[in-house]
Amino acid sequence: MSIQRDDLIALALGTLSSQDQARVQAALQADPVLLAEYHSDIRVLHTLPERLPPGQVPEGAAERMMARMRAEGLPQLAPVTTSNMPLPGSQGSGGQGSGGQGSGGQGSAVVTEPASTNSRGWTLGLGALGLAAALALFFALRPPTDPLTRYAGMPGAVSQPLTGANKSEIGQVVRLRDGTAFLYLSAAPPQGQVYQLWKIVGETPVSLGVIDGQGTLVQDAPDGLTLAVSVEPPGGSEQPTTTPILVQQL
């Protein structure tokens, strides 16, 4: 498969069709020299916005983003440990409140006690029990991390089942007060493929993007909006290439 220099530039500019994008990306994975050239293109092109005057950030934008982040949950592929880059003054992954109290209280008190081995063991045992209790409390009190449960638990949220072609339930959509909706499909997409979300305008599907996994937030989900989901190759397609597994009006 031959990749032209122009293909790399078009990929960096984001102007390739999804089919060509997949083709070029596959070639990049197989050729470290091409990959390095592509990264170099990316670095150069993305200097361009530096020439723009600073944008106006709307008031409250950071708060709205943080609220959304909390609603959507923790990052994917997070490392098992979070302590390899400790941050001053921070508590680790979302562990505020009960988690912070619990882990702070025990450790230092027990090890500074100049006591016999027995009493030290006893104190350590009490410390371990306290830590376990604090952790239990932390896990009991923290909000659920799966996004569907979190969205469904938000004030004013209304859940609606998603019905597939054979009338079976294939997922849920949770409509929220702010006009957004969280759509969740119960099954993962087939191996090597992705779900792509569409809205139907008239009779035309308009892409709302590839679903990252099984759930996605639909930013503008008014009454009567018709959504569809199809199974597509990685990166998505410009138009559905398979029969949608879901077509449903909100």
Partner 1 sequence: MTQPTLPPDFPDEALMQAMAGGQEDALRELHERYARLLYALGHRMLRQTDDVEICVQDAFMNAWKHAARFDPARASAKTWLVSIAHHRFLQELRDRPDTPLEIEDWDAPTAAADPTDRLMAEQAVQGLEPDHRKLVELAYYRGYTHSELATLLGLPVGTVKSRLRSALGRMKTALGPSGTL
In the complex, the residues that contact partner 1 under the rule CB under 8 A are 5-6, 9-10, 13-15, 39-58, 61-66, 68-70, 72, 74-79, 81-82, 84-85, 87-90, 92-94, 96, 201, 206-209, 212, 219
Distance CA 213, CA 42 (A): 26
Burial class (CB in 10 A: 0-12, 13-18, 19+), 144: exposed
Neighbours of 109 (CB within 10 A): 12
- Least distance between partner 1 and beta carbon 28 (Å): 12
- Residue closer to partner 1 (CB basis): 40 or 160: 40
- 3-state helix vs strand vs coil in the chain, percent to 5: 40, 20, 40
At 207, list the tokens. Answer: 């892409």
Place of tokens 């909706």: 181
- Least distance between partner 1 and beta carbon 55 (Å): 3
Q: How far is CA 32 from the centre of its chain?
A: 29
Q: How far is CA 177 from CA 70, 181, 220, 223, 249, in A?
A: 16, 9, 11, 12, 18
- Least distance between partner 1 and beta carbon 122 (Å): 34
- Residue closer to partner 1 (CB basis): 46 or 177: 46
- Residue closer to partner 1 (CB basis): 92 or 240: 92
- Least distance between partner 1 and beta carbon 169 (Å): 26
- Residue closer to partner 1 (CB basis): 96 or 159: 96
- Residue closer to partner 1 (CB basis): 85 or 140: 85
Place of tokens 């809205």: 199
- Residue closer to partner 1 (CB basis): 165 or 206: 206
- Least distance between partner 1 and beta carbon 10 (Å): 7
At 137, list the tokens. Answer: 């409390």
Q: How far is CA 209 from the centre of its chain?
A: 14
- Residue closer to partner 1 (CB basis): 90 or 168: 90
Give the H or E element holding residue 168.
none
Alpha-helix residue ranges (DSSP H) falling in the chain: 5-13, 18-30, 32-45, 61-72, 98-111, 117-141, 147-152
- Least distance between partner 1 and beta carbon 180 (Å): 9
Q: Is the dihedral of CA 46, 51, 54, 55 positive or negative?
A: negative
- Least distance between partner 1 and beta carbon 188 (Å): 16
